[in-house]
Chains A and B, each alone.
Chain A
Amino acid sequence: MATAATKSPSKVIDQRQHAADTYRLIDNNEEFYERTGEQIVRACKMQISVQVWADNFRATLNTIYHWADGQPGKIEKILCEPRSDKVIFFVVPTSDEFDFDLGFAQATLDVTLNTQCNIGYAETRQVPRWDLKTFVSPEAMMIWSAPGTSASGR
């Protein structure tokens, strides 16, 4: 007869079969989380050490610096805001209007961030320099600014 101390056999979530199935997870505070098999597998893959994440993040910054250097005259600065579920890189253009070419370049960067950088979900957002308070938290860090500006540097 099974006792409370007996470990039950492992239950299998196979991404090939269960990607779309939903699972209910319950934590010690009886909070419920519904996740798909795909999401659970992704979360496990991201269960990497803080040190590895920090190393990946530093490498990601170099990727962004290189990308920003390749958009001469188009970007005033880039701010970074890590959130609980993602990292947002706010791209502030030099123009007062939305810069479409820069927007398409950001889309390419988004693909790189999410397929090669291994820092979890990350996205860029182009926001107006004249309305930063609406979109960017005061805690956001400036990670890049255009050469020659008062706050230029990394």
Chain B
Amino acid sequence: MGNYNPTVDECIAQWQHNRLLLSKLDPEFSDWIVTATFYTALHAVESLLLADAVKADHATHGSRAIVLHNNRKYNETIWPAYKVAYDLAHVARYSAKPRRWMKADNIPLLLFQRSLYPIEAEVLKWLRALKVPPTCPDCPPVTLKPATPA
């Protein structure tokens, strides 16, 4: 087992890397947009947990969930928004019909507005309070590619 420990900067970079992918995927692959959204959110959350020096073993989904819903700092805004992204991504990865579960048209209004953006806003609020900048990123709204005409 390796002992690599990611840094806050590395988590922020991966958060932004995954976020960039969202605007590059064709809406035809909305199931992968859902999955990429979850991993965007995950790295945003990881950056805050690291910045907060949360010592718990949060490298697994279960242990990260425990940290998120057992701490008031995270369980009011971040946990609910993260949880819906987690549930959606789980079905997006394993169902043979993931696009029936989350329609591409609903991604900006539901998945981004109700899950990703609230997580990012909360993480940025705390990172700024912790004076993590200058690496602290801007998170403008994601612009999805227009659907490719059939």
Interface residues of A (CB under 8 A from B): 19-20, 34, 36, 38-39, 85-86, 96-98, 100, 103-104, 106-108, 110-111, 114-115, 121, 123, 125-128, 130-131, 134-135
A152 to chain B, nearest CB (A): 25
Chain A interface: which of B25-33, B86-94, B135-143?
B86-94
Given A97-B101, A98-B101, A110-B79, 19 more A-B residue pairs with CB atoms under 8 Å apart are A19-B55, A20-B55, A38-B55, A38-B57, A39-B57, A86-B62, A97-B103, A98-B87, A103-B80, A103-B88, A107-B69, A107-B79, A107-B80, A111-B75, A111-B79, A121-B66, A127-B91, A134-B94, A134-B95
By beta carbon, the residue of chain A nearest B55 is: A20
**Interface size, chain B (Cβ < 8 Å):** 29
Interface pairs (21), CB distance under 8 Å: A19-B55, A36-B56, A38-B55, A86-B62, A97-B103, A98-B88, A103-B87, A104-B80, A106-B83, A106-B87, A108-B80, A110-B79, A115-B69, A121-B62, A123-B62, A126-B87, A127-B91, A131-B97, A134-B94, A134-B96, A135-B90
Chain B residues with CB under 8 A of A135? 90-91, 94-95
Contact of B95 among A34, A86, A97, A131 (CB under 8 A): A131
> Is A100 a contact partner of B114 (Cβ separation < 8 A)?
yes
In the complex, residue of chain A having the shortest beta-carbon distance to the beta carbon of B54: A20
**B55–A123 CB distance below 8 A:** no
A to B contact number (C-beta, < 8 Å): 86
A34 → B minimal CB distance (Å) = 8
Complex: A145 Cα to B65 Cα, angstroms: 27
Question: Considering only CB atoms, which chain A residue lies closest to B106 in the complex?
Answer: A97
Chain B residues with CB under 8 Å of A97's CB are 100-103, 106
